[in-house]
A and B are shown apart, each in its own frame.
Chain A
Amino acid sequence: MGFLMCKEDNGLGCLMKNSASVELDSYFPVRHQRQEDVPKTRFKPRVGKTLSPRRWNAAFSQDGQLDIAGVLRRIQRGGIHPSIKGAVWEFLLGCYDPNSTFEERNEIRQRRREQYAAWKTECKEMAPVIGSGKFITAAIITDDGQPIIETSVNGNLPDDFGGKPSDNGSADKRVIQWKRSLHQIGLDVVRTDRILVFYETEKNQAKLWDILAVYSWFDGDIGYVQGMNDICSPMVILLDDEADAFWCFERAMRRLRENFRCSTTSVGVQSQLSTLAQIIKTIDPKLHQHLEELDGGEYLFAFRMLMVLFRREFSFVDSLYLWEVMWAMEYNPNMYLLYEEPNSSCQNGSQKINNKLLKLYGKFERKNVQTGWTEQKTALAVFVVASVLETKNKRLLKEAKGLDDVVQILGELTGNMDVKKAVKGALKIHKKYLSKAKKS
């Protein structure tokens, strides 16, 4: 009894009217015994604000072109109704061009599904457990590429489930690295969104595992890093088809992957953290100084917020709401082309920006374009963290005498934040920052 059954439900009008969170739970049911532990969900679909299934269907022309401006307006005001989140996300994340037709999109979808299947086959040849409906939680290979025999698998598998050692004995470094990450993915999958009924089944866990395993092969530069599971999990729930979920995740990772780039000296997200420091220093120098004095100038306490986009600070439903509002605000009509043809001339600068075109941008991105602030791409999420810090500004200045106090004060945010207010505050800070940065 999950979300996908409800997808077929056409009597959604009543849901919109009653807009009770009880009904939200039927989309993303929470395990009975765990209902107490979950942060309260604040999101409610609201008539006239939330993008409803009816509005969504009406936003397409006969051959399938999407009125993206109208859709963005709605999402920025009140999020997306749970029954259509998956389909809308595909556009928000740039899987498809809103100007394409139904037919063109079907073609692309088909092509992508085939591509995913090909990569999955490639992975299966190296590790036959891929796609078997099972997955592993213990290492199958040592650092130097020797297979480990005693391995715990969820269920029984043939002996060579981890793949045979390579013929020449000197297995490719990339293959070893990838195989070394498979059990880590498994260890995380069994701990991902455990409160949701959806992940009670091994089948759904294996789906998440497969997608992460294939992704980390395909994006070998980044590989698998803890936290990707939190980003991928909603896609698996929202999109029925595994390949579609993969591509939605892949598009989300286009924005986020630099955060997950690990070197011997740092984790990628730290560059967002230094931007955060820069922003706070500009708009609230007193707070920045205070944090620096507490040895918190690196802003590591905000690490998790940026890495998994507030998944831990909000309930499941509310974090999806936050994501879609952020993505709508960051929407750039050239995204699809930039992703598909990175070398195309369709860069921001080369286009004449008129008012009609500006409507196709999300609020946040529009501001960037208007002020010519397109070189330095700072994610809206960084401004959201800044706005969250600002709401605690007085207490941080007054009560925090150590980094532990900072974390304690910020920890109280969990389950007590409002998506709308946080994003509104972020846009305000963004505006202030742009004007200050311009002056200096």
Chain B
Amino acid sequence: MASTGLSSSNSSSSSYDLSFKILLIGDSGVGKSSLLVTFISNSVEDLSPTIGVDFKIKLLTVGGKKLKLTIWDTAGQERFRTLTSSYYRGAQGIVLVYDVTRRETFTDLSDIWAKEVELYSTNQDCVKMLVGNKVDKESERVVSKEEGMTLAEELGSLFLECSARTRENVEQCFEELALKIMEVPSLLEEGSAVGKRNILKQKQVHHTSGGGCCS
């Protein structure tokens, strides 16, 4: 309920240099929405399960550039996966989340989710970030940090352990991902193309008040 109410108060019409699309995936209940809400706002709260897909927008400055991140938060239940596949289109970054206290969510990343990424991601250079969430529950941990690192290596992805509850490493997760995306020339180009088009479109709207511009 409160989840959409918290959607970033930043106006999307503010100017920015680069615009990236980030996708959050992983099993149900690993804390995808919580990570996102913690990143976007200052509150930490219990969230309802995501239905279908939810978006949040975050403006931030990384490496001297003003970025607009559009983060697509997906439902984790297996049965929604048919839907998720269409969300991969054009994503520059993908965050794969598991819960360090539930092994199944970790094995599913390599057994299922990584394969989905292979199958549906349209960007060959798309940057991946593996995230082990809920490290605040240290006593319940069943997936070690080393295991996480090994999987990240296999997947060729970045890796962080974090806690949406304590906010530990949450900002780093998205910032490091953004920085890495900016290092990839093809992705950087895409991101700046959207940025430019945004400015261009604003001008167009001024002159012609609307009129479709195909994206």
Q: Which residues of A contact B (CB under 8 A)?
A: 34, 37-39, 137-139, 152, 184, 187-188, 191-195, 223, 225-227, 229-230, 262-267, 289-290, 293-295, 298, 300, 303-304, 307-308, 311-313, 315-316, 397-399, 401-402, 404-405, 407-408, 411-412, 414-415
- Asked whether B4 lies within 8 Å of A312 as measured between CB atoms, the reply is yes
Q: Chain B binding site: helix, strand, loop or mixed by DSSP?
A: loop
Assembled-state Cα–Cα distance A408/B8 (Å)? 9
Residue B29 interfacial (CB < 8 Å) = yes
- B residues touching A (Cβ–Cβ < 8 Å)? 1-5, 7, 12-13, 28-29, 43, 45-55, 57, 70, 75, 77, 79-80, 82-83, 86, 102, 104, 194, 198, 201-202, 205, 209-210, 212-215
Chain A residues near B55: list those with CB within 8 A: 404, 407-408, 411
Nearest B residue (CB) for A195 = B1
Knowing that A191-B48, A411-B55 are A-B contacts, what are 20 other residue pairs whose CB atoms are under 8 Å apart, sorted by A's residue number? A34-B45, A37-B2, A37-B5, A187-B29, A191-B47, A194-B46, A226-B79, A229-B49, A262-B82, A267-B52, A300-B53, A303-B51, A308-B51, A312-B48, A399-B13, A401-B205, A407-B55, A408-B55, A411-B7, A415-B5
Cβ A312 vs Cβ B210 within 8 A? no
- CB < 8 Å: which of A267, A397, A404 contacts B80? A267
B53 and A226 contacting across the interface, CB-CB below 8 Å? no
The majority secondary structure among interface residues of chain A is loop
Q: Which residues of A contact B79 (CB under 8 A)?
A: 223, 225-226, 262, 267
Total of A-B residue pairs, C-beta within 8 Å: 129
Instruction: Give complex CA distance A274, B207 in Å.
Output: 33
- Does A300 lie within 8 Å of B52, measured CB to CB? yes
Q: What chain A residues lie within 8 Å of B43 (beta carbons)?
A: 37
**Do the beta carbons of B5 and A39 come within 8 Å of each other?**
yes
* Cβ-closest 9 pairs across A and B: A303-B52, A187-B29, A37-B2, A262-B79, A304-B51, A411-B7, A194-B46, A404-B70, A414-B4
Shortest B111–chain A CB gap in Å is 10
- A residues in contact with B215, CB < 8 Å: 293-295, 402
Residues of A within 8 A of B82 (CB): 262-267
Whose C-beta in chain A lies nearest to the C-beta of B204? A401
Q: How far is the CA of A300 from the CA of B53 in the complex (A)?
A: 8
12 sample A-B contacts, Cβ–Cβ < 8 Å, listed by A number: A37-B43, A138-B102, A191-B29, A191-B47, A191-B49, A192-B48, A262-B79, A304-B52, A401-B205, A404-B57, A411-B55, A414-B1
**Cβ A408 vs Cβ B75 within 8 A:** no
Cα A312 to Cα B47 in complex, Å, equals 11
Q: How far is the CA of A212 from the CA of B9 in the complex (A)?
A: 37
Is the Cβ of B45 less than 8 Å from the Cβ of A37?
Answer: yes
Do A401 and B198 contact each other (CB < 8 Å), given the known contacts A225-B79, A264-B82, A290-B212? yes
Nearest residue in A to B90 (C-beta to C-beta)? Answer: A295
Partner of A230, one of B48, B53, B70: B48
Give the shortest distance, in Å, between A312 (CB) and chain B (any CB). Answer: 5
Query: Are B213 and A293 touching (Cβ within 8 A)?
Result: yes
With a cutoff of 8 Å between Cβ atoms, the chain B residues found around residue A226 in the complex are 28, 49-51, 75, 77, 79-80
**What residues of B have a CB within 8 angstroms of the CB of A34 in the complex?**
45
Shortest Cβ distance from residue A190 to the other chain B in the assembled complex, whole angstroms: 8
Residue of B83, B104, B201 touching A267 (CB-CB under 8 A): B83
Whether B201 pairs with A401 at a CB distance below 8 angstroms is yes
Q: Which residues of A contact B4 (CB under 8 A)?
A: 312-313, 411, 414
Residues on A with C-beta less than 8 A from B86 are 298, 300
- Within the complex, the shortest CB–CB distance from B25 to chain A, in Å, comes to 15
Closest A residue to B212 using CB positions: A293
Asked if residues A408 and B5 are in contact (CB atoms below 8 Å), the reply is no
Tell me the minimal C-beta distance from A68 to chain B in angstroms: 33
Contact between B49 and A188, CB atoms less than 8 A apart: yes
Question: What is the minimal beta-carbon distance from A345 to any residue of chain B, in angstroms?
Answer: 37
CA distance A314 to B45 in the complex (A): 18
How far in angstroms is the closest Cβ of chain A from B56?
9
Residues of B within 8 A of A194 (CB): 46, 48
